[in-house]
Chains A and B, each alone.
Chain A
């Protein structure tokens, strides 16, 4: 059982080591691809186990909980690992067309898989300190990816990224220290029980706020998001796609985990803050995007606004709300990663990233226009695409609680999202190219173009499937939400193995 849980962490690490040792030849690239496929298989097996058993846990090194490190997967963790594997594979395939051998020789694939290991580890761990360690693995590897190849803009972005993320780490680590001082344990399931017995509940709320700030920076919520738009438009498109898809979601996941399992003593206070933070995040993100004129910067600000919907799901703290949040997470990872990948093809075909300096893409490549429209409209919440259902569930949940204003903000942000997407559409696809330059997909060598288009098509098809057959996915999200709201099974699975 425990190997189902260990594999999604071990496979990327093994791949990273092999890819690094083989980085000077084409073999490294293929090892990297094979590792991504293996991770997808492993995550599928994990998902099957979780569907069968509900929650599964494994004690690494055979040290019993709560003393050792527990890996544990409930439906949310398993779904996140699967989606990580999908995004990882899509990006690696895309990178076959985009990433040059010079970058590969610097260790691109090793860093990439180390980051994926960090992301999977964060999703699977059942120990707060271990979560911190995975955050660090992810941060260090992602810093490497951000600056790899090192032009000036990348280094500038990298410094902002690392400095602000270290601040978040500091808040997180202080929180862990205080939590350990209060309860004497760091195992999440054990914490669920121990936190309830702490006499000074006010102090627990203080610790909860430290965690909220720490994870809030990672998740890029208002007012802690400013590192994100400063960094995400600088690296290669593969890197920014995987960052946009996965990294902030780890913060959202950590928020969801800690604020349903551990910090639920004062929901009226903590989740009320989250509620207004979510509304502010949605609004500032989308307004920020409206002011931008660079392809990837617009998309970066939209990440922020969409994060608001996910934390909103958590803040509502009802089964439907959380289900909406989880559904939104999955939908958004696919859609957002895809939009960044499309931005890469658009840039290569039209020659620039500033919307003012490109155009005519629709005439040159109507198929690419279609591939952009699917994720873009899904992001804005058009039926029948995945984003419609995600928004529908979250808005319905907030209407059920009679949060009229929040529901209004959520709908308004959807409308403004369409504005930004049509802005990109009009500028990049419809208007003629300002320099009279004719963008052509054939400018990209076919050996590069196909690996780049393949993952875009695959992710677009996934968006369509989620949109056309939402029942399965909503059910899965509801299962995840029920498990989050009633962690008894989770706690028993983790700690129950002590008795055995």
Chain B
């Protein structure tokens, strides 16, 4: 059975052309894709839009049908009440377990803050975080 704590993020390639981001946002809008969180990583000549969406499988197919480069990436969502303290705690647990955090971004929700991270070993990270009592977001909570 798939681990319910693994969250699917969609990573979208955005080239450095005026209007490219707007064009992608328009695709999301036209397909009624509900965005729960996003982050734009950029270098000087291109960007990568990372998004958490409702029904990522459908969103993936919709985006790809428009010829846009999109990829599914497994990430973990950490529910936090006090983000700086929790970030420290989670980071320390993973560091001890030898897990590398590749990138992360946060989103302030209604009930809690959410911290999304991409790590080099998702399964192991979920295991050690859960064992340490850190509250992880379930995939179903984002639907």
Co-assembled chains A and B: no
The chain A residues found within 8 Å of chain B, CB to CB, are none
